[in-house]
Chains A and B, each alone.
Chain A
Amino acid sequence: MRIIEHPILETLDTSRTVTIYYNDRPVEALEGEPVAAALMNAGIKAFRTTAKRKEPRGIFCAIGRCTDCKMTVDGVPNVRTCMCPVKEGMRVYHQDGNGTFEKKDRT
């Protein structure tokens, strides 16, 4: 959920948007925001599954340190989505395990 009005901060400017694709499904994002923020706003919390136990993982640190939010972005696996800004038409896929450079990770 987007926080538009805020008691301390200015009203959020939502005028400039781009469309990214999560598992081929369109997701509206604000220009310049990290991929992880756009997905979280769309209610998506599980970003990948672990290699051995196939457990779900999502955002943990949001500052690029823990790598729990890594996904396959535009064909590149293990992209830290909390650090990666959205771009128009970006293809983001849920990542299974360590990921590959082909788009095999869609679930």
Chain B
Amino acid sequence: MKIKETDIAIVGAGAAGLTAAIEARRAGAQVLVLDENRLPGGQLFKQIHKFFGSHEHRAGTRGFQIGRDLLKEVEQSGAEVWLNTVVYGMEPDTSLGVIHEDQNTVIKAKKVIVATGAKENYMAFPGSTLPGVMGAGAAQTMINVNRVLPGERIVMVGSGNVGLIVSYQLMQAGAEVLAIVEGAPFIGGYGVHAGKIRRAGVPILVSHTVTRAIGTEQVEAVEIAEVDSKFRPIPGTEQVLEADTVCLAVGLNPMTELLWLTGCKFTFIPAFGGHVPMHDAHMETTVPGLYVAGDVTGVEEASSAMEEGRLAGISAAESLGLIPREEAKERRGEVIRRLNVLRSGAFGEGRRRSKEQQLKAMEAFQAEGDRT
């Protein structure tokens, strides 16, 4: 077994992990980024739509372009990036077990930043395990990264931004989207995305759900039905669509497995996708030297993840004595100001409240520790 030492190890080379690496390198830390995939960038290269937000968050630029620029910056920064590297475990002292180039290696880092992102939620209905039922993100990966169409006639479940955007991207890739079904009585995502879908002639059926996928070896048809105010299918409203694929866009949840292994403390915030690690304004968890950033701290979106990565990178470098306290504080303040812009407005406000709740949980935990 090999042992590798470094100043800061970062798990995940996505939006948050890469900005954390850039900030930590800028401060002069030795940085090692670990990722299971063959290419860095996380989910950014699947985002072929234009980003939202303010000018300083590069609104109007497509996600994959932001990803390319980020990769260039990481390359120039001199951070070491290990791809095709599985991080299979973490000890309470934050040492990491990894498989790199077929070799079991232990990474001993002074500080660890976990930026593992999120995974898609599942939804159970008769036939939901059939090949042809998949996550909307899975379909997005197939069309935009692997450039393979997962099916030709799609039913999308969920009208949040993921459901709307992936539907549009499936059409750009040449598929037909038969319908978007939404259990709630209203569309979940931005009006501008919903408008594009409707102008393309795709019905968005609110107060509707998938009741079953029909087929033996794979999806051959999909039954949908209207639901009442308690989300129960209304008998007699069933209709069968000749679809070969069902995409589920029913939310995401943070990939916290590594964090649980360390014994760090969690708090439960449904709007963030469930159990999320407690962390302070420096992104440090209840385990000293263990930081978190991006969707693993609660599901938001790529721009927020990139900002949180900067917070974690600055703070980890500061704790190593590489950035003076005042300077670190000032730079964090700048990032937090930009984060507050992202966490405002009709869609961002809920995320701001969730983040406050998470920070308060950490404060309460620390106060309790001080008393005992």
Contacts and interface: CB of A to CB of B under 8 A. Distances in A.
Contacts of A2: 147-149
A52 interface: no
A59 B147 contact: no
Interface residues of B, number: 36
B38 interface: yes
Nearest to B245: A45
A61 B137 contact: yes
B148 A60 contact: no
A34 B146 CA distance: 8
B36 A83 contact: yes
B50 to A, nearest CB: 10
A1 B143 CA distance: 10
Interface stretch (A5-13, A16-24, A97-105): A5-13
Contacts of A8: 48, 62, 172
A46 to B, nearest CB: 5
A91 to B, nearest CB: 19
Contacts, number: 97
B120 interface: yes
Contacts of B135: 60-62
B131 A45 contact: yes
Given A32-B38, A41-B148, A46-B218, A62 B134 contact: yes
A2 B131 CA distance: 19
B143 to A, nearest CB: 6
Interface string B198-226: 00000000000000000011100000000
B133 A60 contact: yes
Contacts of B48: 8-9
A3 B149 contact: yes
Contact of B134 (A59, A65, A85): A59
B152 interface: yes
B38 A58 contact: no
A9 B216 CA distance: 35
Nearest to A85: B38
Contacts of A60: 122, 133-135, 138
B333 interface: no
A59 B131 contact: yes
Interface of A: 1-4, 6-9, 12, 32-34, 36-37, 40-41, 45-47, 55-66, 82-83, 85
